[in-house]
Structure 1
């Protein structure tokens, strides 16, 4: 039996609550001898700031670097609104991404049949939706320099963020998108703003060249990022894999998330480059919903995105594709049975707790094995 090192970083708000439900599944797999796990835990975000004065400690970073995968909950909340900018809870996640080299963010948007009515769009537009947004995660405007606020001679202030991309950064994220498309419906939509941004011009050139040279069997279309946002709301099922830079990926993935009915439903994976010696990638898996401090501690949070993030870890880090399929099918089974947390419950219907939803998924998963 394979044994994997797994680091849990629950974080803040509802992070520990939803992480507990994923951890229950990890514990089941380990105790049953299906997949072995050596589990470690550490602090990140506001919890780490309270304990160490930083959003993630060097010791926690060392554990993350040594792990086969990191499961991340959520960070942030009003308690830490006034901490120094460099120590804000989100800085912990940014450091994890940067120091681990997690350049490829995979954000699936799947509309389960049982939740098609929960989408803000008409059912016929979203039912059966299954798309993947591939977001470049370690470059672009979030990391470019200079990044500053300066006072000008006339007393006004000027804020500067710099959008920077190199050929190499675009090349490697495009290859991830094309490789994924070959496993799906064989179509890539590359989103940028080549009409007004020089980085968009370069992005378009590099993606086009890679496609012509190495991926001509995959259908490629170029779409302006603002038009892509419009098309996601207009006819989302036209898309298979969308590849885009850090800023546009941040925006477009949240648009796509709401097509499915709730941010509480959607996982993500952040992957590094493949190690030439081990064949492994550094990887971090997290739900996209944030820390939701308004419902923290109420056992009202939806743990399905956290559990689906574990399914992605089984698939991409642990080589357990069949187990990932079974866990994802268990999620669909629970939803089809009508089990709902508050965020996806119909008006006037009873919602189950975070713990009850997690238990329901574990039972459905056990039946699938």
Structure 2
């Protein structure tokens, strides 16, 4: 039976349109070579939406995102928008998507391809074969807790306030995502918090433990303090399989893990919502890298992170593991051939542009066409 899905593409700003265009080519290839029928729609988000409509995401674009089976986003932002009020800056469009689609679980894989192990700032033997999945809670915690703000005290000093807050249900739903992922991987979850100094951390540990005992006892659970986890990621990162943590610590630890791989241009991500009664889950996929406006439109951007984000979409939103593996294997094949964009260029390698990398990955996929 043909799989029919609607994908909303939001290329965004900077190199976003460059990398999204290469991913669109892979979608067209799958439509011709696999039993799928992907309908692709496109809209604006970020600075380009502000330029066109005065807001970083229109209500119409938001409605299309809600209706789509999955959303693929390129990048948002640029220095020309730095002076805008926060609520109309490009990043506010992305935050609105996450909030209104209720995307509570952010999946950030950190995988070191053997051909790129020497690009890490750590020794090859420390990172070669690394395959970590960080699951970050995305809609709660200190970024969204109330009260928050900046106030002036009676003595004239100013005070900034942010509140770290979590509930049982918020912790359980993101931990369940981590445990489910671990069942398909190495069956090991590290739950990370700061229970030694934070009540919210103590609640996090207690609730993750309770959920584990009730529903996921087949998966090994270990607890770790966030500062120790940061240290262990650069000391012995291969001890980890799945890490689940809150919004703040997940923000920092996932960026740290990303740099173990050598380039942000290689790293995909997924943001998932809850599964509804029909088994449908709202989801947004995007590369970890930023908009890199200095190289936008110059055929220099690395499209691999966006292409791998699409592979995650196939796997987690559409349950299409085989074509996801085709894309991932093709990326690996191309890297093994020594083809590189500028951000991952090395001695003895052959440099290609954005389109050249897309050409090479499509050519590699042809081997799997049958």
What TM-score comes out, normalization by structure 2 length?
A: 0.97
**Separation in structure 1 between the aligned mates of residue 157 and residue 350 of structure 2, nearest angstrom:** 54
Asked if 1:367 corresponds to 2:367, the answer is yes
Could you give the per-residue CA deviations for residues 266-318 of structure 1, whole angstroms, max 9, x where no partner exists?
A: 10111110111x11100110000111122222211110000000001111112
Other-structure match for 1:26: 27
Other-structure match for 2:48: 47
Secondary structure of the 1:294 match is helix
Asked if 1:309 corresponds to 2:326, the answer is no
- How many angstroms does 1:154 deviate by? 2.5
Asked if 1:193 corresponds to 2:227, the answer is no
Other-structure match for 1:329: 329
Could you give the per-residue CA deviations for residues 88-127 of structure 1, whole angstroms, max 9, x where no partner exists?
A: 1111111111100111111111100000111110000000
- How many angstroms does 1:32 deviate by? 4.1
- How many angstroms does 1:359 deviate by? 1.2
Could you give the per-residue CA deviations for residues 184-242 of structure 1, whole angstroms, max 9, x where no partner exists?
A: 11000001011111110110010011111211121111000111011000000000000
Q: CA RMSD in A?
A: 1.2
Other-structure match for 1:353: 353
Asked if 1:167 corresponds to 2:194, the answer is no
Secondary structure of the 2:160 match is strand
Secondary structure of the 2:293 match is coil
- How many angstroms does 1:147 deviate by? 2.2
Could you give the per-residue CA deviations for residues 291-346 of structure 1, whole angstroms, max 9, x where no partner exists?
A: 11222222111100000000011111122111101110000000000000000001
**Separation in structure 2 between the aligned mates of residue 355 and residue 320 of structure 1, nearest angstrom:** 25
**Separation in structure 2 between the aligned mates of residue 14 and residue 151 of structure 1, nearest angstrom:** 41
Other-structure match for 1:85: 86
Other-structure match for 1:216: 217
**Separation in structure 2 between the aligned mates of residue 189 and residue 358 of structure 1, nearest angstrom:** 36
Note if contact 2:56-2:89 (Cα within 8 Å) is conserved in structure 1: yes
Could you give the per-residue CA deviations for residues 53-102 of structure 1, whole angstroms, max 9, x where no partner exists?
A: 11111000000000000001111110100011111111111111110011
What does 1:100-249 correspond to in 2, within 5 Å?
A: 100-249=101-250
- How many angstroms does 1:349 deviate by? 5.1
Other-structure match for 2:290: 290
Unpaired runs of at least 5, structure 1: none
Moved over 4 A (4+): 347-350
**Separation in structure 1 between the aligned mates of residue 349 and residue 365 of structure 2, nearest angstrom:** 25
Secondary structure of the 2:289 match is coil
Unpaired runs of at least 5, structure 2: none
Other-structure match for 1:5: 6
**Separation in structure 1 between the aligned mates of residue 110 and residue 51 of structure 2, nearest angstrom:** 34
**Separation in structure 2 between the aligned mates of residue 2 and residue 350 of structure 1, nearest angstrom:** 37
What TM-score comes out, normalization by structure 1 length?
A: 0.97
**Separation in structure 1 between the aligned mates of residue 299 and residue 357 of structure 2, nearest angstrom:** 10
**Separation in structure 2 between the aligned mates of residue 361 and residue 216 of structure 1, nearest angstrom:** 40
Range with bigger deviation, 324-333 or 146-155? 146-155
